[in-house]
Amino acid sequence: TTLKECKKEEKADREFQKKFKFEGSINVLTQMMVDPAATEKRGGGKNLPLRRGEILDVIQFTNQEQILCRNSQRR
């Protein structure tokens, strides 16, 4: 990883923490794959776009219906 990539990742993490009022360091609990048969959805607001087969990092299990995740673009 280059210094430029590290700085870009740090900036994305700060934006993530601000947007979701997330305190402390961001730790990946596990990863999950979006169901390959799922209907693809456009993102909006605080919702990620859903792309079939995409691997997401799980940051926090917020409730039974929602999970705080980030995609490969650290969004």
The pLDDT tens digits for 20-64 are 888 888 999 999 999 999 899 898 888 889 899 999 999 999 888
22: its two tokens: 């997330």
Tally of structural domains, the chain: 1
d(CA 61, CA 45): 19
Q: pTM, whole model, 2 decimals?
A: 0.78
Residue 65 has pLDDT above 90, yes or no: no
Note the pLDDT of residue 1: 64
Confidence of residue 69 (pLDDT cuts 50, 70, 90): very high
Residue 75 has pLDDT above 90, yes or no: no
Whole-number Cα distances in Å, 43 to 1, 5, 61, 71, 75: 28, 24, 19, 12, 11
Q: 42 lies in which domain range?
A: 5-71
Residue by residue, DSSP assigns 48-68 as PPB-TT-EEEEEEE-SSS-EE
